[in-house]
Amino acid sequence: MNQFDMIEHLENLPLNIVGFKAVGEITEKDFTDTIIPKVKALIDKTDQLNYLLVLETSLKNFTIGAWMKDAMMGLQHLSKWNKAAIVSDVEAIRKFTNLFSYLMPGEYRGFEHKDLQQAIDWVSEKN
């Protein structure tokens, strides 16, 4: 792992959302050390999950352990999901994200990188 492989917690977001940026290889440790504690803190504070993920890496750069932690986190907090936005310039990822609204509790929407502020506003329910 180099210094550019990681999940970064995004600061300066509205208080009712938690956001992350994925760069390089993403591992189980990224979920354990960064994502899960921040998600739990938001749910403890607001009793719901408004989630933003900015993908600056390919999904193939997520290790099996990362996918397992992601799935476990999603199931553990299934009833708490309110809104989730995935920001990616890959159309297939945005389409897949949009489909989640039909399959899971909560609303899910994909956004392009140029629409990051729109994604933040949507997740934080400003619009």
**Is 125 a domain residue?**
no
The total number of structural domains that make up the chain: 1
State mean pLDDT over 96-116: 91
**Is 124 a domain residue?**
no
**Is 50 a domain residue?**
yes
CATH number of the CATH domain containing 69? 3.40.50
Query: What would the pLDDT profile of 79-103 be if each residue is shown by its tens digit?
Result: 899 999 999 999 988 998 988 888 8
**Is 1 a domain residue?**
no
Q: What residues make up the domain containing 33? A: 6-119
* Count of beta carbons in the 10 Å neighbourhood of residue 85: 27
**Structure token digits, residue 64:** 């099996």
Question: Whole-model pTM?
Answer: 0.89
**Is 91 a domain residue?**
yes
- The residues, any chain, with a CB within 8 Å of residue 52's CB and separated by 6 or more, are 10, 13, 17, 18, 19, 20, 84, 85, 87, 119, 120, 123
**Is 46 a domain residue?**
yes
